[in-house]
Amino acid sequence: MPEILVDINYSLKKFVNNGLDENSLIDYKEKAQKGFLKLEQLHKSGKIGFPEVVNQDISVFKEFAKKNTGKYNDLVVIGIGGSSLGIEAIVESLLPFGYNALSFSERGGFPRIWVMDNVDPHKNRSILRHCQPEDTLVCVISKSGGTVETLFNFNKVYSWFIDNKVENIHDHLILITDPEKGFLRKYGKENGIKLFDIPENIGGRFSVLTSVGLVPLSLLGIEIEKLLEGAKHFLNNGIEKALYLAAVYLYFMDNKKCINVLMPYTSRLGKFSEWFSQLWAESLGKKNSNNGELINFGTTPLKSIGAIDQHSLLQLFKEGPNDKHFTFIEILNHIFDKKCKDTISKDLNHFKGVSTGELLDYELRATELVLRKAGRPTVKIVLDILDEFSLGYIIMMYMYIVSIIGLANDINPFDQPGVEEGKKYINGLLGREEYLEFKKAFEQDYIK
Ligand code: PA5
């Protein structure tokens, strides 16, 4: 089983100016440990459930996928934030680029995948124009079961089925939601629509390894048991690494690095960086009162992709404000990687014998050195290959790290009051009775 490595050397004082010294590393590791113990308590008491996903019974997801394989040409996922980003992250990492352009047989009878996250007329119309209603399965995902964007899109897609005179519309629908509460649960129950539960103690951005991700991913033929094996391997062997990484992040958050850059060296992890950004920002961006003094906690996550951003952001990373901490993700063995055999000109002979993956590796090393020499601290996560296993591992690792950082700083990483406030104004503007006070507050405070 290939180990996932975490290399923090280039964040340490002995390698980089302004890095952490040994004593700070010990202190911050202790702080991380305190956060970890709090997480363990929340987990043991059943308040927080995401570590439990490795013990769930996935046979029902797999059976459902098996029954539906070959039946649909398109799968439309409707959800937003934690109810869509994780799915997109895994799809982009594991399915080939341009997957939707492959034929049905090239896809092995698995459907194309479309994610309707935004209420964007152009995007949503384009998605539906690609799909034939009779041939489409729609998976609506919402933990609360009441998110405006998701329900609005669900309503539109349902009308699209009606307009196209689809019989048995409910056979084309799956609803994934809270086991008890919310509109989707009620609607699904009343109308006999297939429902899957999201455990009550797992919130949106921590839910990708529950039915939220596992149902649509297994419908796409992704080996979901391997995602969970990777997550489990992290729980059994990776906590110490997560504590070191959390200690480094904690130190730099306290030491003026207000931007946290995640820079995987592969385009396959672009959406993963967006998933990470949501997890980091929504969990850690909190106001907190420390001995009566109000603190605005959190740092800003920034997605960057190697080698592409070496031709844009790297200039700022090296010579702009020294307010960033960097995490690289390196992949040692890239699939489809081949050495360059011939060159079209002798001027290009230095490419001979070099594979694309090797060049990507030189690019990463060059960036590491540029930043180290400029006194910019970095860490690196090294994966042997990018597959279900390693992805499951780093997903669980980051859910741990973010929780540890929040709890170590006495903030609640599992709520999102700012996001909820926005939802209330939208409901008010839509004229919902229960939110009229937000409509009034909006009319009073919003200055045109
Ligand atoms: O992490 C979160 O809680 C949020 O980002 C939610 O995932 C997002 O707001 C969507 O919520 P819901 O799944 O309830 O529709």
Which numbered atom of ligand 1 lies nearest the CA of 423? Answer: 9
Among 50, 78, 83, which residue has the most ligand 1 atoms within 8 Å of its CB, making it the best to mutate? 83
Those residues with Cβ within 8 angstroms of residue 148's Cβ, 6 or more apart along the chain or in another chain = 423, 426, 427, 430
Paired tokens of 105: 């047989």
| C-alpha–C-alpha distance, residues 78 and 152, integer Å | 10
Which numbered atom of ligand 1 lies nearest the CA of 82? Answer: 7
What sign has the CA pseudo-torsion 42, 48, 54, 59? Answer: positive
Paired tokens of 147: 């998110």
Q: How far is the CA of 146 from the centre of ligand 1 (A)?
A: 10
pLDDT at 234: 98
- Among the listed residues 370, 268, 373, the one whose alpha carbon sits nearest the alpha carbon of residue 310: 370
Which are the catalytic amino acids?
Answer: 282, 311, 423
Instruction: Compute the residue count for the chain.
Output: 448
Q: How far is the CA of 89 from the centre of ligand 1 (A)?
A: 16
DSSP 12-25: BTTTSTT-B-HHHH
β-pair partners for 395: none
Sheet holding 259-264, edge to edge: 5-7, 378-383, 324-331, 259-264, 300-303
Which numbered atom of ligand 1 lies nearest the CA of 149? Answer: 15
Indicate the DSSP class of residue 202. Answer: -
pLDDT at 44: 98
pLDDT at 150: 98
Alpha carbon 246 to chain centroid distance? 18
From first to last of the 448 residues of the chain, give the pLDDT tens digit: 778 999 999 999 999 998 999 999 999 999 999 999 999 999 999 999 999 999 999 999 999 999 999 999 999 999 999 999 999 999 999 999 999 999 999 999 999 999 999 999 999 999 999 999 999 999 999 999 999 999 999 999 999 999 999 999 999 999 999 999 999 999 999 999 999 999 999 999 999 999 999 999 999 999 999 999 999 999 999 999 999 999 999 999 999 999 999 999 999 999 999 999 999 999 999 998 777 788 899 999 999 999 999 999 999 999 999 999 999 999 999 999 999 999 999 999 999 999 999 999 999 999 999 999 999 999 999 999 999 999 999 999 999 999 999 999 999 999 999 999 999 999 999 999 999 999 999 989 887 7
pLDDT at 2: 75
| C-alpha–C-alpha distance, residues 126 and 152, integer Å | 16
Phi first, then psi: what are they for 134, rounded to 5°? -65, -20
Q: How far is the CA of 83 from the centre of ligand 1 (A)?
A: 6
| C-alpha–C-alpha distance, residues 429 and 110, integer Å | 40
Q: What's the first-to-final CA gap in the chain, in angstroms?
A: 59
β-pair partners for 286: 297
Q: How far is the CA of 207 from the centre of ligand 1 (A)?
A: 10
Paired tokens of 177: 């939601």
- Among the listed residues 323, 327, 332, 330, the one whose alpha carbon sits nearest the alpha carbon of residue 401: 327
Paired tokens of 44: 């043991």
| C-alpha–C-alpha distance, residues 395 and 231, integer Å | 7
What sign has the CA pseudo-torsion 216, 83, 173, 154? Answer: negative
Among 88, 140, 143, which residue has the most ligand 1 atoms within 8 Å of its CB, making it the best to mutate? 143
- Among the listed residues 380, 265, 396, 274, the one whose alpha carbon sits nearest the alpha carbon of residue 334: 265
Which numbered atom of ligand 1 lies nearest the CA of 144? Answer: 14
Name the residue with the closest Cα to ligand 1, atom 3: 204
| C-alpha–C-alpha distance, residues 186 and 166, integer Å | 23
Q: Are 181 and 189 in contact (CB under 8 A)?
A: no
Q: How does strand 136-142 pair with strand 74-78?
A: parallel
**ipTM of the prediction:** 0.99
DSSP reduced 3-state for 170: helix
β-pair partners for 262: 303, 327
Number of other CB atoms surrounding residue 108 within 10 Å = 11
Number of other CB atoms surrounding residue 126 within 10 Å = 11
Q: Which amino acid, 153?
A: N
Name the residue with the closest Cα to ligand 1, atom 12: 142
Q: How far is the CA of 144 from the centre of ligand 1 (A)?
A: 7
Name the residue with the closest Cα to ligand 1, atom 8: 81
| CA-angle at 125, arms to 119 and 129, nearest 5° | 150
Pocket of ligand 1 (CB under 6 A): 80-83, 142-144, 147, 150, 203-205, 282, 416, 419
| C-alpha–C-alpha distance, residues 110 and 218, integer Å | 10
Which numbered atom of ligand 1 lies nearest the CA of 150? Answer: 15
Q: How does strand 378-383 pair with strand 5-7?
A: antiparallel
The contacts found for 7-11 with CB under 8 angstroms, 24 or more apart, are 7/379, 7/380, 7/381, 7/382, 8/244, 8/245, 8/248, 8/379, 10/368, 10/371, 10/372, 10/377, 10/378, 10/379, 10/380, 11/248, 11/252, 11/325, 11/377, 11/378, 11/379
Q: How far is the CA of 25 from the centre of ligand 1 (A)?
A: 35
pLDDT at 295: 87
Is the peptide bond between 307 and the residue preceding it cis, with omega within 30 degrees of 0? yes
Q: Are 295 and 288 in contact (CB under 8 A)?
A: yes
